[in-house]
Amino acid sequence: MRKTLLQCSVITILLVVFCSCERSDRRVTKAEQTVAIDTIANLETPESTIAEQKALKVKLYIENSGSMFGYVNGGTQLKNMLQNLLVDLKHKYDEDNIELYFVASKIYANPIKTDVVGFANKLDISSIQKAGTKRERATSDLNDIFRQITNEIEDNSISILLSDFIYSVNESGEGSTVNRLGEAKALTKDVFLTADKKGQKLTTNVYQFVSDFDGKYYDFNDEGKKFKGQRPYYLAVIGEQSTIKQFTNQMTNQIGLKFPNYKGYSNEYLLTAEDFKVEDYTVLSSTYNVGRIKPVRGSEVNGQVRKIEVEDSGRGDVTFQMAIAVDLSSLAVTNNYITNIENYELENDDYTLFEIGQIEDENIVFINGEKQPISKTDLNHMAFNATHAFIFQSTNPNSGNLSFRLKNNIPKWVNESSLLDDIDLTINTNKQNKTFGLEYLINGISEAYLQATKKVSYFDIDITIEKPKSSSFLGTAFGILFVLLLISLIVIMILKQKTRK
């Protein structure tokens, strides 16, 4: 009897062990998940030696050519924006660290006798005319302005240029407008490549605003025509990468300053030589998916799923769909740019990027307001600050790995805000919200960054996709037969024992 019980015990143990192995082959156990997450959470981050940051110096340059007079004639949105910006700057950096200048053919000291907060209220046509001679203010060379400003940038300073961003090409040589704009663009590119060659690793953030305008508009022939209405203008925030990052962090996180909050804000384009690396991303195997997604056991990176086996559902028009959560919090581009599907490139033609949502409070929130809860299983792999979710679809998901990248494109608004002929702007309402030659100016800056960095994309993400094991069905069938065989042996042994009795 004892021998029979021993035999039964051994067989039962084998059965339990076999079933346990089968389960662990199919998924990571709860205990293993907990250990993995706890290990990540408890990793000791070595304390980095942070150099004491110097107080930032902010240099504000206002273009004071005749084309800017209309923006300061009366109470305008430009003056409203400037007032709020200076108040925010003063309360963060103190008045002693804020320098105000006018700029055209030269940089001029501020002639307005007032404190920083009162500056915008006293800014008018007469105060602009006090900086420089009439001849010096007659026209302005934007490339010369950029050259002057970049030459004045220090390690602990940022420069803010306020300008209408209109190229002066009437005296730039013979040829068509397009040819002259092309020459101006090349000179813009030269300014920023020269700065890079001198060791300046600059970030340039361009913000477009709209303001009331009441004055003379000067077309590309330098002919002034009376105009009253709405006109775009621009802020260019320029500085060393680390300084701009410090400025952005302090102004945004500490006092809540965001340029989009200022009156008249329209668009922005952020250009930098900084090398962004997306460190944290994971496949959501149980959220908003169609078909079967199985993480490959033992392939996680910091608990994040990067390697999967997939099977399509074989039903409906969409036979496979999966979501990937990514942390893009350090990426210096706008959310509108990030969520525009047209800005992405996929290497695998069998996959398409279906939609992009933002992650808020453990939900994927799409542009139409729809919310998709993230499963608890997937949250276990998200021990990081995921900001966006990318939804991919395929009818042939096992065709290869999935690689996608965010291209370094110039935003659409730049082209839509640019025009080549402004002769009739004052009477053509379709042109009054556009800027002559803007596309050439922005292209000049962008091409300089591209040439200096060789970066054609902001980030690249790769997901390894493996075909399901072909032996999985046979393995399952064998497992079932093995269990039935063990049960049969146990039954036979018990019956034999009873017969002996």
Compute the distance between CA of residue 485 and CA of residue 11 in angstroms, rounded to an integer.
Answer: 11
Compute the distance between CA of residue 248 and CA of residue 268 in angstroms, rounded to an integer.
Answer: 14
Task: Provide the residue type at 109 as one letter.
Answer: A
Q: Which helix (H) or strand (E) holds 272?
A: strand 265-272
CB 362 within 8 A of CB 379: yes
Per-residue pLDDT tens digits for 456-482: 899 999 999 998 875 445 556 666 777
Residue matched to tokens 């086996």? 309
Backbone φ, ψ for residue 412 (5° rounding): -60, -35
Q: Kindly give, in sequence order, each residue whose CB lies less than 8 Å from that of residue 6, ignoring residues fewer than 6 positions away.
A: none
Dihedral sign for Cα 11, 14, 20, 22, please: negative
pLDDT computed for residue 344 by the predictor: 98
Range scoring the smallest mean pLDDT among 16-25, 78-87, 447-456:
16-25
Compute the distance between CA of residue 189 and CA of residue 181 in angstroms, rounded to an integer.
Answer: 12
Query: In Å, how far from its chain's centre is CA 390?
Result: 14
pLDDT computed for residue 49 by the predictor: 31
- 47: number of Cβ within 10 Å: 6
Query: pTM (2 decimals)?
Result: 0.79
Percent above pLDDT 90 for the chain:
65
CB 311 within 8 A of CB 330: no
Q: Which helix (H) or strand (E) holds 437?
A: none
CB 58 within 8 A of CB 93: yes
Q: Kindly give, in sequence order, each residue whose CB lies less than 8 Å from that of residue 211, ignoring residues fewer than 6 positions away.
A: 71, 76, 77, 78, 81, 230, 231, 232, 233, 264
Distances (CA, A) of 387 to 300, 328, 358, 377: 20, 6, 6, 18
pLDDT computed for residue 38 by the predictor: 35
- 195: number of Cβ within 10 Å: 22
Per-residue pLDDT tens digits for 215-254: 999 999 999 999 999 999 999 999 999 899 888 877 776 5
Percent above pLDDT 70 for the chain:
84
Tokens of 170: 């009437």
Task: Provide the residue type at 464 as one letter.
Answer: T
Q: What is the mean pLDDT of residues 161-165?
A: 98
- With 90 as the cut, is the pLDDT of residue 488 above it? no
Task: Provide the residue type at 500 as one letter.
Answer: R
- With 90 as the cut, is the pLDDT of residue 83 above it? yes
pLDDT band at 370 (very low <50, low <70, confident <90, very high): very high
Q: Which helix (H) or strand (E) holds 391?
A: strand 388-394
Q: What is the mean pLDDT of residues 196-202?
A: 93
Three-class SS state of 365: strand
Q: What is the mean pLDDT of residues 8-37?
A: 42
**Upper half-sphere CA count for residue 373 (Cβ side, 13 Å):** 3
Q: Which helix (H) or strand (E) holds 130?
A: none
Residue matched to tokens 């009477």? 427
CB 144 within 8 A of CB 187: no
CB 357 within 8 A of CB 388: yes
pLDDT computed for residue 67 by the predictor: 93
CB 77 within 8 A of CB 209: yes
Q: What is the mean pLDDT of residues 12-36?
A: 41
- With 90 as the cut, is the pLDDT of residue 126 above it? yes
pLDDT computed for residue 313 by the predictor: 79
Beta strands in 254-350, from DSSP E residues, in sequence order: 265-272, 281-284, 292-295, 307-311, 320-326, 344-346
pLDDT computed for residue 225 by the predictor: 96
Compute the distance between CA of residue 76 and CA of residue 343 in angstroms, rounded to an integer.
Answer: 35
- 405: number of Cβ within 10 Å: 18
